[in-house]
Amino acid sequence: MGSRSHSVRDFLIRVLMTSKWNCGFVVQFVVLSDLWWPVSGLGSMSSIAISYGEKGPAFCGIKSDGSHLVNCYGSNSAIIHETPAHFPFIGLTAGDGFVCGLLLESNRPYCWGSSGYLRSGVPRPMMEEAEYVEISAGDYHLCGLRKPLTGRRRNLSLIDCWGYNMTRNHVFDGQIQSISAGSVFNCGLFSENRTVFCWGDESSSRVISLIPQEMRFQKIAAGGYHVCGILVGVNSRAFCWGRSLDFEGEISAISAAYLNQGNVDLPPSDPMLSVVGGKFHACGIKSYDGEVICWGYTVKPSTPTPTGIKFYGIAAGNYFTCGILAEKSLLPVCWGLGFPTSLPLAVSPGLCKTTPCPPGSYEFVDASTPCKSPGSRACLSCSNGCPAEMYQKIGCTSKSDRQCDYNCSSCYSSECFSNCSSLYSDNAKEKNRFWSLQLPVIIAELGFAVFLVVVVTTAAVFYVRYRLRNCQCPAKQSKTRKNSGGGSSASKDNGKIRP
């Protein structure tokens, strides 16, 4: 890298040149014959951070219990032993051999580890009463975005940097939403027009001269020698620019044997929720299913990117990436090459903020609340759209993400058929359970109904017979009277004297 005291030309360098990325820019990645060349974790502030260097990798994360305290694991003993035990942090970032966090109480950066360019503790020099909203680490430097100014200076933004060839105070015209540090450069995203600007050493990356001026971005993330961002619009796809070490004399064809050491994948066209940059690769969380996809240079042999697993957040190192599982455990997992092998801690799914969750995001609600400060909350980005064969069942609310479900009437994949088969099976089980519970009740009701019918019918028969019996009595009496009347008449006739 251009910032090292020793020359990169001492290494055997091969430059892997891709043709054209989907985004339209030619991007060149460096492939080093010595794949263990010390490099660092990169990226913007998050609830997790990855450091990588000569003394080994380290993973740090803010605890999920709401204490805002940090745990670190890995093989870098300086980072592990110097991790502050009682300092609460808002967010973390990491560079080559060091980790920095933004202190919750003072909104100032605090660093620890084994960097030769950043002192442990609060970086110096530090402006009096300076407070920061975001910090981001490169290989050997750290930059911090100060809180927005007020009054006549409200349209200015202040960024302070410390470290190798970076210690300086910067003033930019325009409000800045976020910053992200690359290997030896930095980039920022303007709030109003959503354009990107970069500064620093671009001799190895050309990230400044290749900035897409006409494009607008939601988010950006700097890698080793490239920058990726999520475009504004319904597609929300990733767009990357930059290049590898630009030594034309050392560019050569790649032999078949060397190609076996890695692959280069092009940026995806999937819509993204977030994106992070590693040394020679980038990863993003897809917006419709929460799964991770990576592109760029992949070293062989590497642990493959997880599939079928959702993530809340990710952070990239040099040749590996780690993410927070979107499940109750909130455990981190890593993939790639050279990552820490043991990560037994649950971490916060996102940064805690005191402001309400903005539109397009929802508040993380769980039994283990990661934010216990009064009025603070962790906001996560709402997913956008649904994958093929699925439909939106429930929209994104302030308390939950949107939910998609399979449209069983238009299945063509094995996953859809499997899900719908299990759904039908579950429905059949529910129906069987329903009938097993309701059948005795129904039989009892039918028996009671039959009993009522029999009782009513019997009563009706007896009533009718009773009424018929009463109707026959007058007829008999009439008949008796008639017979009695006929006898009297005969008597009278008999009593008459006939001639």
Mean pLDDT along residues 365-369: 74
What pTM was estimated for this model as a whole?
0.72
Specify the CATH number for the domain of residue 265: 2.130.10.30
59 lies in some domain: yes
> Mean pLDDT lowest for which of 23-37, 189-203, 313-327?
23-37
190 lies in some domain: yes
Select the more confidently predicted residue: 407 or 63: 63
User: How far is the C-alpha of 340 from the C-alpha of 335, rounded, in Å?
Assistant: 10
What's residue 489's pLDDT? 47
User: How far is the C-alpha of 114 from the C-alpha of 110, rounded, in Å?
Assistant: 13
> Mean pLDDT lowest for which of 143-152, 247-256, 291-300?
247-256
**Is 60 exceeded by the pLDDT of residue 90?**
yes
What's residue 28's pLDDT? 37
Q: Report the amino acid identity of residue 211.
A: I
> Mean pLDDT lowest for which of 72-86, 206-220, 241-255, 383-397?
241-255
358 lies in some domain: no
The tens digit of pLDDT for each residue in 332-355 reads 999 998 888 878 789 998 888 888
What's residue 219's pLDDT? 94
Mean pLDDT along residues 75-86: 94
* Domain region containing 41: 8-348
> Mean pLDDT lowest for which of 205-214, 459-468, 480-489?
480-489
* 196-to-8, 161, 231 alpha-carbon distances in Å: 29, 18, 11
Select the more confidently predicted residue: 386 or 158: 158
What's residue 204's pLDDT? 82
* 340-to-60, 300, 398, 474 alpha-carbon distances in Å: 10, 17, 35, 111
Terminal-to-terminal C-alpha distance of the chain: 167
434 lies in some domain: no
Instruction: Please count the structural domains in the chain.
Output: 1
What's residue 474's pLDDT? 57
* 246-to-36, 42, 206 alpha-carbon distances in Å: 20, 21, 9
480 lies in some domain: no
100, two tokens: 């920095």
132 lies in some domain: yes
Mean pLDDT along residues 258-267: 58
The tens digit of pLDDT for each residue in 143-187 reads 999 999 999 999 999 999 999 999 999 999 999 999 999 999 999
53 lies in some domain: yes
What's residue 41's pLDDT? 42
461 lies in some domain: no
